[in-house]
């Protein structure tokens, strides 16, 4: 299905002194335009799953399809290109380059894909305007507030017009009021750009505003349910 993410029989096992299975035989679909919250206790494997979805880590078995493309079959160069063009990432604010200006940070994904600065700059400026920072482009990222930095992170994630958005605790370091603003912005941008997204969060407020939740627990157990405010939770267990 175009713009869906389909996870099929996914397994991740770390081999060390003892073998650690994070999840086994995990299957689920994120529908086009959906916002899926990835929740669960610390250490349950949320970041691990998000890294697998972003092609930053490789599964032990299984497939991950973005539309028709199984990213587990791409070579590193193809994966880097796919990530650059199709996936917007929102990590913690520390991922910005603090010595560079806001607009330079936002331009970065376009420059990486070979676009020249003269065409990248107006796109970055337009995206800064989308996130409410039209007049802050020439401030160094390190001099902006936490909430402003997270807006820059969002602008950088979306400047290349990806179809998918992956976020790891996008409101994690922010006070409640700023987190609410970032969440509202995220919702607005998601519908404006018709993004399919997966968001790792410890925030019940954020999870409640997602279409469904995928709850991970240690030992490879997972459950997918509708938004807690909706009736009819569907539960399936991996093992
Ligand atoms: N490279 C690795 N080698 C071995 N074990 C790892 C590795 N990376 C992660 N783990 C283990 O996998 C488990 C899941 O980690 P992960 O970071 O995905 O959890 P999380 O759900 O994101 O937790 P948190 O909410 O604290 O961010 C943990 O037990 C962790 O120690
Ligand atoms: Mg994590």
Q: Which ligand is nearest to the CA of 49?
A: 1
Residue linked to tokens 């003269």: 118
Instruction: State the chain's maximal CA–CA distance in angstroms.
Output: 53
* Minimum-distance ligand 1 atom for the alpha carbon of 169: 27
Is 230's pLDDT higher than 50? no
Over residues 147-172, the mean pLDDT reads: 94
Ligand 1 binding pocket, CB closer than 6 Å: 14, 16, 20, 22, 40, 42-48
Written in H, E and C, the secondary structure of 180-230 is: HHHHHHHHHHHHHCCCEEEEECCCHHHHHCCCEEEEEECCCEEEEEECCCC
> Given 3.40.109.10, 3.40.50.620, 3.40.50.300, 3.30.43.10, which CATH number is that of 5-226?
3.40.50.300
- Smallest CA separation from ligand 1 atom 17, residue: 47
What's the average model confidence in pLDDT over 129-144? Answer: 95
- Output the CA 221–ligand 1 centroid distance in Å: 15
pLDDT bucket at 235, cuts 50 / 70 / 90? very low
Instruction: Output the pTM of the full model.
Output: 0.90
Element (H, E) at 87: strand 87-90
Task: Tell me which ligand sits closest to the C-alpha of residue 40.
Answer: 1
- 220, 238 Cβ separation under 8 angstroms: yes
Where are the domains positioned within the chain?
5-226
Rounded to 5 degrees, φ, ψ at 221 are -90, 135
Number of the ligand 1 atom closest to the C-alpha atom of 48: 18
Distance 201 CA to ligand 2 centre (A): 9
């Amino acid at each position: 299905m175009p713009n869906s993410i389909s996870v099929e029989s996914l397994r991740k096992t770390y081999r060390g002194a003892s073998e650690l299975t994070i999840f086994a035989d995990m299957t689920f679909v994120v529908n086009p335009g959906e916002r899926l919250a990835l929740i669960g206790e610390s250490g349950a494997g949320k970041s691990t799953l998000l890294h697998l979805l972003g092609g930053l880590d490789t599964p032990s078995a299984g497939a991950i399809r973005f539309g028709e493309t199984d990213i587990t079959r791409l070579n590193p160069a193809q994966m880097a290109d796919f990530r650059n063009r199709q996936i917007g990432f929102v990590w913690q604010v520390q991922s910005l380059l603090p010595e560079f200006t806001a607009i330079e940070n936002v331009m970065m994904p376009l420059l990486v894909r070979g676009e020249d600065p003269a065409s990248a700059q107006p796109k970055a400026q337009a995206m800064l305007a989308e996130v409410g920072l039209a007049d802050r482009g020439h401030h160094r990222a390190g001099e902006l507030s936490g909430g402003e930095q997270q807006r820059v992170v969002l602008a950088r994630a979306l400047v290349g017009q990806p179809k998918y958005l992956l976020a790891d605790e996008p409101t994690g370091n922010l006070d409640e009021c700023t987190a609410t603003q970032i969440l509202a912005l995220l919702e607005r941008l998601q519908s404006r750009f018709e993004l399919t997204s997966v968001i790792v969060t410890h925030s019940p407020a954020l999870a409640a505003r997602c279409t469904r939740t995928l709850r991970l627990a240690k030992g490879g157990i997972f459950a997918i349910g509708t938004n807690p405010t909706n009736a009819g939770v569907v539960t399936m267990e991996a093992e």
